[in-house]
């Protein structure tokens, strides 16, 4: 594995590479577009460290396993060990924030859901989590409202605002820490807004996080 966490200036971050803790259906409009109910408590799942790859300048997708959907999400880099924490501790325990793609083999996920089987084959495979560089969050006052978006081939596919999350960011992190101890170097993905769709080799993507971060590059096949 050659992934390391990086700051947005491309310098390496001195934190180990850990697991990725994710939430399903954290935006009501995305739950509805897939015909799912809006959950009462967050649907949590994990991608292993082997799913992490840099998002730019390019990342690759499997070409022989049905549709690979993009889910653009706000990503948080954990800086301190968090276990059973509250929202305030969660806020101060973060080292940085950026963007992640929760790549999903949608056809396979639908098959697994129909059979009542776990989602790992669809969401935890090698390369299933391209991430951007991170912005140092120490000393930054967190804004309540941050827009994230994804364009593919110049067309706006996904756009959402963190105020639309069903479980607000730090409450969500606190809830995650009651289930999984969060360790320095873990990443948290906070759920995707509506507009998920298939990616194809040759696609050009541009992802934005407010006015602070823009990541663009190319999708390749493997
Ligand atoms: Zn997701």
Residues contacting 36, CB < 8 A, separation 6+: 25
β-strands 204-209, 213-221 pairing? antiparallel
104 CA from centroid of ligand 1 (Å): 8
Distance 203 CA to ligand 1 centre (A): 20
Contact, 41 vs 6, CB < 8 A?
no
**Inside any domain, residue 6:** no
Within-domain flag for 131: yes
Residue 25, domain CATH? 3.90.850.10
In a domain, 4, yes or no: no
Domain membership of residue 84 (yes or no) is yes
Instruction: Please report whether residue 96 resides in a domain.
Output: yes
Please indicate, yes or no, if residue 67 is contained in any of the structural domains.
Answer: yes
Q: Which residues surround ligand 1, an ion (CB under 5 A)?
A: 71, 102, 192
pLDDT score at 211: 87
How far, in Å, is the centroid of ligand 1 from the Cα of 129? 10
61 within domain boundaries:
yes
Q: 132, 136, 80, 130: which is closest to 104 by C-alpha?
A: 130
Please tell me whether residue 4 adopts helix, strand or coil conformation. coil
The DSSP-derived string for 180-203 is S-B-TT-EEE----S--EE--TT-
- Give the predicted TM-score (pTM) of the model: 0.95
Domain containing 73 equals 20-221
Expressed in angstroms and rounded, the spacing between residue 100 Cα and the centre of ligand 1 is: 9
How many domains does the structure of the chain reveal?
Answer: 1
pLDDT in tens, the chain (222 residues): 589 999 999 999 999 999 999 999 898 888 888 888 888 889 999 999 999 999 999 999 999 999 999 999 999 999 999 999 999 999 999 999 999 999 999 999 999 999 999 999 999 999 999 999 999 987 677 777 889 999 999 999 999 998 899 889 999 999 999 999 999 999 999 999 999 999 999 999 999 998 889 999 999 999
Q: Is 1 contained in some domain? A: no
């Amino acid at each position: 594995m050659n992934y390391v966490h990086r700051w947005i200036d491309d310098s390496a971050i001195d934190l180990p590479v850990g697991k990725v803790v994710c939430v399903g259906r954290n935006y009501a409009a995305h739950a509805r577009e897939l015909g799912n109910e809006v959950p009462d408590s967050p649907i949590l799942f994990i991608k292993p460290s082997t799913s992490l790859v840099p998002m730019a300048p390019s990342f690759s997708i499997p070409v022989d396993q049905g549709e690979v959907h993009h889910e653009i999400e706000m990503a948080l880099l954990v800086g301190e060990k968090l276990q059973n924490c509250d929202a305030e501790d969660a806020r101060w325990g973060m080292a940085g924030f950026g963007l992640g793609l929760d790549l999903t083999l949608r056809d396979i996920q639908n098959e697994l859901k129909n059979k009542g089987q776990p989602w790992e084959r669809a969401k935890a495979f090698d390369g299933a989590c391209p991430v951007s560089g991170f912005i140092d969050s120490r000393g930054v006052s967190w804004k309540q409202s941050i827009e994230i978006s994804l364009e593919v081939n110049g067309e706006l596919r996904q756009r959402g605002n963190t105020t639309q999350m069903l479980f607000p960011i730090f409450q969500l992190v606190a809830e995650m820490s009651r289930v999984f101890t969060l360790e320095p170097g873990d990443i948290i993905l906070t759920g995707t807004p509506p507009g998920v769709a298939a990616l194809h080799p040759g696609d050009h993507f541009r992802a934005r996080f407010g006015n602070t971060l823009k990541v663009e590059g190319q999708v390749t096949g493997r």
